[in-house]
Every structure is written in structure tokens, then in C-alpha cells.
């Protein structure tokens, strides 16, 4: 399971807060596709329970803030048909904007 109920709740809470006013949340979850450079740091989950917002890096040296589909992430297959995984040990230490600045500097997500 990519997102536990606890993670979904935290992501939805951030989304609700962002609708009230713009916020710079700490990432709630880090996902990655093994054996590739693809990494995502998500801060929000939309009301449709599919649209995630965060820092997205497909491994091409151009990380960007944007949206991703949870359903699409769960259907992705990497080398050897590996699935997208959640980094169970990730704990955010700074807001998303700081991860984004570091990612643009290094041309990849550093987390």
C-alpha cells in the first residue's frame, strides 16, 4: 500500500489548509521508483483522493512542483517490473519550498 490511512489523512489536512490560504507544508511522504531516478515528495492529496501535489522528479534532471495521479503512480512499473515504493524512513526536516530549491540546485531531489 503506497499511502496508509494516516498518511492520506495528513495529506488531506494539508490540502484543506491550503484552500484556506497558501501554505508551505513539510512533505508528508516520499515515493520513489527503484532502479531509476524518479522520486516524489508529496504534501497534499486532493478531495478526489487521487490528485497529489508536491515536488516531482522523473529522473531527467528537471524536478518541478506539480501534480501527480495516485492511480498512475500505483500502476507505474520500472526495470524488472518493480513498483513505486514509499520511503518508510523518510521524515521531512524542512518545508517543500526548501526541498524544491535544493532539487533545482542539484538537478534532483535530495531528501
pLDDT of 8 reads 97
Measured between alpha carbons, how far is 101 from 36 in angstroms, rounded to an integer? 21
**DSSP secondary structure letter of residue 48:** T
pLDDT in tens, 46-91: 999 999 999 999 999 999 999 999 999 999 999 999 999 999 999 9
Q: What is the pTM of this model?
A: 0.94
**Quick check: 21 pLDDT over 90?**
no
Residue spans of the domains in the chain: they are 5-106
35 sits in the region (left: phi over 0; alpha: psi -120 to 50; else beta) called left
**Phi and psi dihedrals of 31, rounded to 5?**
-120, 155
Amino acid at each position: 500500500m503506497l499511502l496508509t490511512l494516516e498518511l492520506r489523512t495528513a495529506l488531506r489536512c494539508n490540502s484543506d489548509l491550503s484552500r484556506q490560504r497558501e501554505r508551505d507544508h513539510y512533505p508528508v511522504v516520499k515515493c520513489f521508483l527503484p532502479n531509476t531516478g524518479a522520486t516524489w515528495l508529496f504534501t497534499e492529496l486532493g478531495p478526489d483522493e487521487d490528485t497529489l501535489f508536491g515536488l516531482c522528479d522523473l529522473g531527467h534532471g528537471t524536478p518541478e512542483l506539480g501534480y501527480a495521479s495516485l492511480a498512475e503512480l500505483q500502476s507505474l512499473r520500472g526495470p524488472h517490473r518493480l513498483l513505486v515504493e514509499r520511503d518508510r524512513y523518510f521524515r521531512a526536516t524542512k518545508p517543500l519550498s526548501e526541498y524544491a530549491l535544493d532539487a533545482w540546485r542539484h538537478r534532483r531531489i535530495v531528501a
